Amino acid sequence: MNRLPSLYLSHGAPTLPIDPSLPSAEFGALSAQLPRPESVLMLSAHWGTAQPVVSTSTAPETIHDFYGFPRQLYEIQYPAPGAPDVARRAAVLLGEHGILTDAQPHGLDHGAWVPMLLMFPEADIPVAQLSIQPHMDAAHHFRVGRALRSLKDDGVMVIGSGQMGNGIAHVAALAGLDVVLNDVSADRLKSAMATINGLSTEFGRVTPIFWVPP
């Protein structure tokens, strides 16, 4: 098998599978353009741990880790088989690069099963998850990626899943940059401001703008 690409997918709202106004079809179109993997190692923004943890579940449950969405969303199951061999191989590779890694059974959070459902709806590709470390820097995650790169030659597609805009305002503000927040919801804007203000007192100027659509 040729070397597989690694992907970063912005999975957006968990409602992607049930809301036709969202760009869910693009995931299937992308999948059709790529070689079919033998298995997937997924790194989701919704599973964060102090140190890397691989999921060794043979039949990972579908985790509905969100609140206040339509009932239809909570009824979705993604019964893909687990990939414990891939998980253990990833742990070995990380260990060889000096990255201590734990292992435990873990289901698929929505950052994993939503893009998998849209790309591989038959749920017939084994998938394992690897946690990320939200409190560690980009250099650490670069080392993780470098340690795992040989998996791409073994039929494993490594996928990072999150949302490019998640928390960007918080990160920029904490870096001392001036940030303009705008939203059509005054309540959501107020909540975002409260979150940023609660993170640190040493941030750049944050300007809230309540945007009213024309």
Are 133 and 153 contained in the same domain? yes
Are 69 and 143 contained in the same domain? yes
Q: Regarding predicted confidence, which is higher, 66 or 119?
A: 119
- Residue 70 CB partners (closer than 8 Å, separation 6+): 15, 18
The answer to whether residue 121 is domain-embedded is yes
Are 187 and 132 contained in the same domain? no
Does pLDDT of 163 surpass 90? Answer: no
Identify the domain boundary among 162, 180, 196.
162
The answer to whether residue 2 is domain-embedded is no
Phi and psi of 7, rounded to 5°? -125, 150
- Residue 166 CB partners (closer than 8 Å, separation 6+): 45
- Please write the tens of the pLDDT for every residue from 10-50: 777 788 899 888 888 888 988 999 999 999 999 998 888 99
- Please write the tens of the pLDDT for every residue from 123-141: 999 999 999 998 888 888 8
Are 18 and 74 contained in the same domain? yes
What pLDDT shows up at residue 88? Answer: 96
Are 104 and 172 contained in the same domain? no
pTM of the model: 0.76
CB 67, CB 116: distance < 8 Å? no
Residue type, 133: Q
User: Where is 112: in which H helix or E strand?
Assistant: helix 110-119
The answer to whether residue 73 is domain-embedded is yes
Place 174 in a pLDDT band, splitting at 50, 70 and 90: low
Are 24 and 130 contained in the same domain? yes
Are 154 and 205 contained in the same domain? no
> Which of 22-26, 81-85, 114-118, 127-131 has the lowest average pLDDT?
22-26
Phi and psi of 16, rounded to 5°? -50, -40
The answer to whether residue 1 is domain-embedded is no
Are 75 and 157 contained in the same domain? yes
CB 33, CB 84: distance < 8 Å? no
From CA 113, how far away is CA 125, in angstroms rounded? 12
* Total domain count, the chain: 2
Helix H, strand E, coil C: the string for 53-88 is EEECCCCCCECCCCCCCCHHHHCCCCCCCECHHHHH
- Residue 126 CB partners (closer than 8 Å, separation 6+): 38, 39, 40, 80, 81, 82, 83, 86
Range of the domain at 158: 7-162
- The total of other beta-carbon atoms located within 10 Å of residue 75's CB is 10
The answer to whether residue 123 is domain-embedded is yes
Q: Regarding predicted confidence, which is higher, 8 or 104?
A: 104
Q: Residue 154 maps to which CATH number?
A: 3.40.830.10
Place 200 in a pLDDT band, splitting at 50, 70 and 90: very low
